Amino acid sequence: MNLIIDVGNSFVKFAVFQEDEILYLNSVEENLFVNELEIILQKHPEIDKCIISSVGNLNKIALKRLKHRLKVVVLNSATEMPFRNLYKTPKTLGVDRLALVSGVVKQFPDKNALIIDAGTCITYDFITEKKSYLGGAISPGIRMRYKSLNNLTANLPLLETNLPENVIGNTTESAIHSGVVFGVLSEIDGAISHYQQKYSDLTVILTGGDANFLSKQLKSSIFANSNFLLLGLNHILQINKIE
């Protein structure tokens, strides 16, 4: 049984896998890491392996305690992957993106695939049908766009994410919603179109915190799965041997 831990910028996600099936899933603030770990290990004493993906700051004491209890893989550029990484600067490639590409290899083998992760940032990652990872793109996520309009201007307010009723905003608030949301939707649809021009058999996966919000509005045919990164991490753990 595998324990999957994804340390993000704000929260830590925990998942327990029995082979490819998720038995437990929860997200907590970083200061509750140790408490959540104890709860999980009490509920699932069969857990013997763990993988950690961290784009945030992981408490060293918590990590030491975890390694004392389980066999642990800390994901980095040197970890064995189920694909060929052709990124020119592999050490700078985010571990979250490595996990997403691994998820594609597991769920959509032998497919040209574009993975779009709509979270704090929106990342685009492309892997060929021959399991060669070529790279992608990074742009600001929805909340980052709302915050930047507020932080970098004198008079624009900080708004909560909302789907605008009309592309033409007739108030400052509706204009911001239109610019942010329709801007993101147009960007994603445009990116998909560019890839489809070169790869007509393209499989597109949308994941991340904003996946459900965006999936219903996109013109393109996609697979939406907010837990795709966790599936990828579990696949990496399955293929890595831990002493």
Task: Tell me the pLDDT tens digit for each residue of 112-137.
Answer: 999 999 998 999 999 999 999 999 99
Write down the pTM of the prediction: 0.90
Single-letter code of the amino acid located at 187? E
What lies within 8 Å, CB to CB, of 38 at 6+ separation is none
Judged against a pLDDT cut of 80, whether residue 58 lies above it is answered with no
- The catalytic residue positions are 96
Task: Tell me the pLDDT tens digit for each residue of 200-239.
Answer: 899 999 999 899 999 989 888 789 888 899 999 999 999 9
Sheet architecture: strand order including 84-85: 84-85, 132-140, 121-127, 113-118, 203-207, 223-224
pLDDT at 193: 95
Pairing of strands 132-140, 121-127: antiparallel
The Cα-based distances of 226 to 26, 100, 209 in angstroms read 13, 11, 7
With 0-12 / 13-18 / 19 or more C-beta atoms within 10 angstroms meaning exposed / middle / buried, residue 128 is middle
pLDDT at 172: 97
Q: How far apart are CA 109 and CA 104, in angstroms?
A: 7
Under the banding of pLDDT at 50, 70 and 90, the label for residue 34 is: confident
Task: Tell me the pLDDT tens digit for each residue of 170-192.
Answer: 999 999 999 999 999 999 999 99
Task: Tell me the pLDDT tens digit for each residue of 67-93.
Answer: 888 999 999 999 999 999 999 999 999
C-alpha angle 56/58/60, rounded to 5°? 155
Judged against a pLDDT cut of 80, whether residue 243 lies above it is answered with no
Name the residue with higher pLDDT: 210 or 60. Answer: 210
Domain spanning 84-232: CATH superfamily: ATPase, nucleotide binding domain (3.30.420.40)
For helices 142-151 and 183-198, the axis angle rounded to 10 degrees is: 130
pLDDT at 57: 67
Judged against a pLDDT cut of 70, whether residue 158 lies above it is answered with yes
Judged against a pLDDT cut of 70, whether residue 138 lies above it is answered with yes
Q: In the predicted model, what is the mean pLDDT of the chain?
A: 93
Q: Do the domains 2-74 and 84-232 sit in the same CATH topology, yes or no? A: yes
Domain ranges within the chain, ordered by starting residue = 2-74, 84-232
Domain spanning 2-74: CATH superfamily: ATPase, nucleotide binding domain (3.30.420.40)
Q: Mean pLDDT across the stretch 12-20?
A: 95
Under the banding of pLDDT at 50, 70 and 90, the label for residue 55 is: confident
